[in-house]
């Protein structure tokens, strides 16, 4: 009896279901943006900045980010090189944090373009980390869904902070920028 309990405790999962785990890719793609503080900070910051800017920016900034992220993700999956990816990601965190802290409200196209430029680095990183044997489509759908959810969290936070604690929003932006500087230093 004791031997059976020990064997059961040491056994790993069979993972016999098709379409799960790395074979499918969706779960890996869904988790990838959530497992890196750099991605979480940048993607929430896009939503927060968009929400605090208001108007059409609430949609334009996240859509610009996600659209370019998908294209850059395909680039990353192709195996072609993009130098400075990690630096670009860290710089995006700094700049997005500063945009929030300084209450930057650029013309709509300039803000959307900034988000799209930052998305190149994030999307490339996502695509380049496609697990071997995973479905590229499933993986991409996963990281797009996670990114959209993080943008949504930022938009929701902006809705609360803009009305009740605008100074706290600016302080949060400063914290994001400082975290980005720490990423650059590390």
pLDDT tens per residue, range 129-180: 998 888 899 999 999 999 999 999 999 999 999 999 999 999 999 999 999 9
Residue 148, burial from CB neighbour count under 10 angstroms (0-12, 13-18, 19+): middle
Q: Is residue 9 part of a domain?
A: no
pTM: 0.86
Q: Is residue 7 part of a domain?
A: no
**Count of C-beta atoms within a 10 Å radius of residue 156:** 14
The average pLDDT across 68-89 equals 97
Q: Is residue 166 part of a domain?
A: yes
Tens of pLDDT, residue by residue over 92-104, are 999 999 999 999 9
Per-residue tokens: 167: 């100074």
Q: Is residue 15 part of a domain?
A: no
Q: Is residue 174 within 8 Å of residue 63, measured between CB atoms?
A: no
Q: Is residue 74 part of a domain?
A: yes
Query: Residue 72's Cα: distance from chain center in Å?
Result: 13
Q: Is residue 6 part of a domain?
A: no
151: containing domain: 25-185
Domain count, the chain: 1
Alpha helices in the chain (DSSP H): 2-10, 26-31, 37-53, 57-78, 85-101, 108-128, 136-164, 166-185
Q: Is residue 14 part of a domain?
A: no
Q: Is residue 169 part of a domain?
A: yes
């Amino acid at each position: 009896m004791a031997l059976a309990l020990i064997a059961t405790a040491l056994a790993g999962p069979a993972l016999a279901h098709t379409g799960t785990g790395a074979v499918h890719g969706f779960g890996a793609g869904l988790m990838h943006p959530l497992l890196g503080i750099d991605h979480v900070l940048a993607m929430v910051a896009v939503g927060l900045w968009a929400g605090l800017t208001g108007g059409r920016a609430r949609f334009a900034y996240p859509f610009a980010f996600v659209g370019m992220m998908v294209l850059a993700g395909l680039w990353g999956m192709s195996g072609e090189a993009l130098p400075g990816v990690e630096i670009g990601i860290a710089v995006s965190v700094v700049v997005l944090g500063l945009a929030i802290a300084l209450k930057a409200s650029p013309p709509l196209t300039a803000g959307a373009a900034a988000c799209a430029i930052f998305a190149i680095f994030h999307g490339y990183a996502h695509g380049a980390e496609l697990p071997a044997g995973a479905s590229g489509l499933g993986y991409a759908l996963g990281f797009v869904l996670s990114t959209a959810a993080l943008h949504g969290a930022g938009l929701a936070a902006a809705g609360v902070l803009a009305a009740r604690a605008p100074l706290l929003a600016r302080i949060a932006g400063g914290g994001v920028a400082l975290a980005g500087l720490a990423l650059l230093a590390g």
